[in-house]
Amino acid sequence: MSTKYLWDKKNIVAAVVLGLGISSSAMADTKIPVVASFSILGDLVSQVGGEHVTVKDLVGINGDVHTYSPAPMDAVAVKDARLVVINGLGLEGWLPRLMESAHFKGVEVVASNGINKLTLAKEQCDHHHHGVYDPHAWNSVTNVKTYVKNIEAGLVKVDPANASDYQHNAQVYLQKLDKLQLDIQQQFANIPASQRVIITSHDAFQYFSRDYDVTFLAPQGTSTDAEASAADVANIINQVRDDHVRAVFIENITDNRMVEQISQETGAKIGGKLYSDALSGPNEPASSYIKLMEHNTATISNALK
């Protein structure tokens, strides 16, 4: 065998190896860039998109989507995204202007499209900036099943080549949500309905209330940028005393001084921290949507027993 043949063979092998390296890099670069308006949606996109997506959350862990102010890099992320996933229902009042200024040309998915919406009472509308619907729809597992289907459809639209993977991932995750739904129902089954009354900082849990028959009272209303009046707080304190409310809860995204005041003046214990509008960090108990719902359910039910 000639030296020239061996040299050529080595070069062919090297070229194949190099080509594979380039191919792997190119494959990595073909991941679908997706922007989610806040961390809970980002987790849902990751569950459905799997290895085919890179997800950027505009409002990150423990962040407050109500009061968020976009940064310049957010416009860059939106401009480069092929898919933007938003909650809708008036939650992200700052986002339309951001998408317009970024000249977004991709596909927008409104995750809440098709859910059974809760309409706010007039006095609630007067105290927040979201519109006529309660936007906190992710606090219902039933609603999140709709979110997942909408996200699946959006990913299939922008990346039909991987449609079967998105459909499979969505079905696997929907089965997990079915189990989560049953677990939540079972945890409240042995607690009398009259006992299921708690206080939170802002009114983010009405969908949870509807699904699991837990009454939530909140002095601040549905948005954290609304201020509770002294009369609102006084009314809550009176109700806690009259109804013998067992627990009040702090939240990961709010100023909790009001809740602490209510606890001190009524003797109702602080039952723990709830994660209402954002995931926690990886070393905290609500680092995914399912973990968030499991933690909130366990924290609430343990305080009511």
Mean pLDDT of the region 250-260: 69
Q: Is the pLDDT of residue 300 over 60?
A: yes
- Most confident range, picked from 7-21, 138-152, 193-207: 138-152
Q: How far apart are CA 22 and CA 128, in angstroms?
A: 52
The per-residue pLDDT for range 78-87, each reduced to its tens digit, is 999 999 999 9
Asked if 32-176 and 189-304 have one fold, the answer is: yes
Mean of pLDDT values over 162-175: 98
Partner residues linked to 32 by β-bridges: 53
Q: Where are the domains of the chain?
A: 32-176, 189-304
For the chain, what is the mean pLDDT? Answer: 84
According to CATH, the topology of domain 189-304 is Rossmann fold (3.40.50)
Query: How is domain 32-176 classified at the architecture level of CATH?
Result: 3-Layer(aba) Sandwich (3.40)
Asked whether 291 and 252 are in contact (CB, 8 A), the reply is: no
CB within 8 Å of 69: residues ≥ 6 apart: 94
Q: With 0-12 CB in 10 A as exposed, 13-18 as middle and 19+ as buried, what is 204?
A: buried
Distance CA 176, CA 178 (A): 5
pTM: 0.83
Helix residue ranges, H only, 102-162? 122-126, 141-158
- The answer for residues whose C-beta is within 8 angstroms of residue 15's C-beta and 6 or more apart is none
- What the block records as the tokens of 230 is 């002294």
Residue 248 predicted with pLDDT over 60:
yes
Q: Give pLDDT, residue 49.
A: 98
Per the structure block, which two tokens stand in for 65? 């989507």
Under DSSP, is residue 180 helix (H, G, I), strand (E, B) or coil?
Answer: helix
Kindly state the average pLDDT of the residues 147-161.
Answer: 98
